[in-house]
Amino acid sequence: MTDAAFQSDFLKTMQARGYIHQITHPTELDAAARAGVVTGYIGFDATAPSLHVGHLIQIMLLRRLQQAGHKPIVLMGGGTTKVGDPSFKDTQRPLLTEERIAENIAGIRGVFEKFLTFGDGPTDAVMLDNDEWLSKLGYLEFLRDYGTHFTVNRMLSFDSVKLRLEREQPLTFLEFNYMLMQATDFLELNRRYGCTLQMGGSDQWGNIINGVELTRKVDQKAAFGLTTPLLATASGQKMGKTVGGAVWLNADSLKPYEYWQYWRNTEDGDVGRFMRLFTDLSDAEIAGFETLEGAAINDAKKALADATTTMLHGADEAAKARATAESAFEDNVATSDLPTFDIPWEGTPEEQERNEGNAFTQRKAEALLKWSELAPSIGQARKKIENEGVWINDVLVRDPAQFFNETDVDPELGCFRLKLGKRGQIRLVRPI
């Protein structure tokens, strides 16, 4: 089906904004979306207390579904998290306790309220937990009722499994059951809530196909699958990673300023695409930003950062983040609103005694960089200083082993001011 062939608002928007990679039954899904309310879901395993930017495209799928007049289901994987999704993983994920899984779900829940409208209406979103039915499945009943609908031959044909085996990485029987459990989710949601659509990333295609086929075989009900393309930056980097780690969506895991700065540092070639995927800016607005060239493209990047941060953290936090960034980068004024890290002074016992218990003598530049999370390790800190350009208190650092002491602390801020690279990430490091 071509772009022009889609008739439903939902699929036309999805196609125009770049969300669609594969659809199992495009003509049927398009007709269903035109005829009435489609209920669709995406599953999120609770492996951490916050989701990250890598999950954001899936959250936006549910938002687009609701904006088009349909009903989204957020399915938390309280049950499947106990098993672990093997898709494109080199090793088995650590198994979490039920208590940790419950804590993670509680931490994740609030993010969805920023993007979706929850309630009891026909298109209001609902949040469910697949542990509600998976934990009640007897193993023999599970195998008898569903095992006959899957073949090992077919399961081995999916890329998520093939790539793991080709790497000669162990795939446990526990993990192998994951795709059966996810297929059962779709069947249960279809029976309980009339859910006919499962969406996810392209790495979930095999799992989604299993759910679609199980629902159609067992209950002879309509079921559809839709996946998004593998998301990478224009330079080929995986979306959502920084030198400091994952770009978390919870404010207590990543400050709104750092979230804003992540989007402000978007590569030039990604600005328009990311606006379509991650904001509600209109096509006309985005087209206007895409005409900007040279230094003016920074205005588009700020607009992207404003829109994404407003959606997640609110307009006030977005405005505050922008003001902090402009003050630091354009006016060259550091404020306490910048990310600040406490670093303990250190020294020999003799030096500490001379300093009346103060544990500080000096710190190497590479240590300051690692402590401020601008580098994940001392080795990476050295490479960044040697290759990317690091400024401490506006002075270019050329030697990773260069020492800094109390005389180098900015007297007004009481901190070291660190800046990494031309694209700019700024940290304050405060000695304690």
Model pLDDT, residue 25? 96
Mean pLDDT of 246-269: 91
Q: For every residue of 191-249, which 3-state class applies, written as one string?
A: HHHCCCEEEEEHHHHHHHHHHHHHHHHHHCCCCEEEEECCCECCCCCECCEECCEECEC
pLDDT tier at 337 (50, 70, 90 boundaries)? low
203 as an active site residue: the answer is yes
52 as an active site residue: the answer is yes
Mean pLDDT of 252-268: 90
Q: Tokens 């005389």 label which residue?
A: 407
Check: CB of residue 401 under 8 Å from CB of residue 363: no
Model pLDDT, residue 91? 47
Would you call 127 helix, strand, or coil by DSSP? strand
* Contact residues for 171 (Cβ-Cβ < 8 A; gap 6+): 86, 161, 164, 165
Choice among 44-53, 147-156, 281-290, 371-380 with the minimum mean pLDDT: 147-156
- From 21, 34, 93, 114, active-site residue: 93
Model pLDDT, residue 292? 94
- Percent of the chain beyond pLDDT 90? 45
| Model pLDDT for residues 341-400, shown as the tens digit of each residue | 887 766 555 655 555 444 445 678 888 888 887 888 888 888 888 887 888 888 889 888
Mean pLDDT of 271-281: 97
The overall average pLDDT reported for the chain is 85
241 as an active site residue: the answer is yes
Mean pLDDT of 134-158: 77
Most confident segment among 89-93, 96-100, 267-271, 414-418? 267-271
* Residue 158 or residue 309, greater confidence: 309
- From 21, 34, 89, 149, active-site residue: 89
Mean pLDDT of 39-44: 96
| Model pLDDT for residues 94-121, shown as the tens digit of each residue | 678 888 898 999 889 999 999 999 999 9
Mean pLDDT of 5-14: 96
* Contact residues for 241 (Cβ-Cβ < 8 A; gap 6+): 247
What are the structural domains of the chain? 3-228 (3.40.50.620), 255-329 (1.10.240.10), 340-431 (3.10.290.10)
| Model pLDDT for residues 53-88, shown as the tens digit of each residue | 999 999 999 999 999 999 999 999 888 787 655 444
Model-wide pTM > 0.85: no
Mean pLDDT of 160-186: 74
55 as an active site residue: the answer is yes
- From 15, 30, 55, 71, active-site residue: 55
pLDDT score of 90 more than 50: no
CB atoms under 10 Å from CB of 411, counted, come to: 6
17 as an active site residue: the answer is no
Mean pLDDT of 306-325: 94
- From 85, 129, 203, 306, active-site residue: 203
- From 15, 17, 24, 52, active-site residue: 52
Task: Please calculate the CA angle 183-229-204 and round it to the nearest 5 degrees.
Answer: 15
47 as an active site residue: the answer is yes
Mean pLDDT of 414-425: 74
154 as an active site residue: the answer is no
Q: What CA–CA distance (Å, rounded) separates 258 from 422?
A: 16
* Burial of 250 from C-beta contacts in 10 A (0-12 / 13-18 / 19+): middle
Question: Phi/psi of residue 89, each to 5°?
Answer: -100, 145
266 as an active site residue: the answer is no
- From 12, 217, 221, 241, active-site residue: 241
- For 136-172, b/e burial (b = at least 16 CB within 10 A) is ebeeeeeeeebeeeeeeeeeeebebbeebeeeeeebe
pLDDT tier at 37 (50, 70, 90 boundaries)? very high
- From 13, 47, 233, 380, active-site residue: 47
Q: What CA–CA distance (Å, rounded) separates 311 from 71?
A: 20
Model pLDDT, residue 358? 44
* Residue 386 or residue 193, greater confidence: 193
Would you call 51 helix, strand, or coil by DSSP? coil
Model pLDDT, residue 359? 43
- From 13, 92, 123, 242, active-site residue: 242
pLDDT tier at 1 (50, 70, 90 boundaries)? very low
Mean pLDDT of 18-44: 97
- From 238, 354, 383, 423, active-site residue: 238
- From 24, 66, 81, 182, active-site residue: 182
238 as an active site residue: the answer is yes
Q: Can you spell out the DSSP letters for 405-431? A: -GGGSBTTTTBEEEEETTTTEEEEEEE
pLDDT score of 285 more than 70: yes
